Amino acid sequence: METPFTIEQFFEVFREYNTAVLPAQFVFIGLGILGIVLIHKQKNYRSYFITGFLGFLWFWIGFIYHLGFFTSINKAAYGFGILFILQGLFFVREMLRNTLEFHLQKNTQTYLGYFFILFGLIIYPLIGYLLGAEFSTTISIGLPCPTTILMFGFFMLTTANFPGIF
């Protein structure tokens, strides 16, 4: 299957995005680390914060990355943007319902969850950078792949079943 854009165009989108939104990437990493710290606190607001943070990231990717940048090389990004925005709405709904609860447990699932969170926040962009990517083309949190990995990591730290659609 052939993509509607070249590799050069793909990385140029990252360059334009990273340049335009800097220092948002560092703010997102800080907020992700804050989410990890809050899991260790015995406060009720941690679930609101983490769910709200994940929702914000999905809105960000939908509006800023897909609709603002990726549509310049791929018109399918309009559809991706809408889907990411819808997912952001689902997170907002779950935040208001307070149905996702994040807790620290000592089990394999928790350790794997932490690995995914750290992979999305730090390891994913670091691998790209170590493989020769310039800082301006590094794929970091706030972009689809590392954000999805981070989300799965936080999901592995939930203690309840995932909520249904209704």
pLDDT over 80 (residue 160): no
Residue 15 is encoded by which pair of tokens? Answer: 């360059």
Predicted TM-score of the model (pTM): 0.91
pLDDT for 43? 73
CA distance linking residue 117 with residue 126, whole number of Å: 14
pLDDT for 166? 45
User: 114, 36 in Cβ contact below 8 A?
Assistant: yes
Distances (CA, A) of 95 to 55, 134, 143: 9, 36, 22
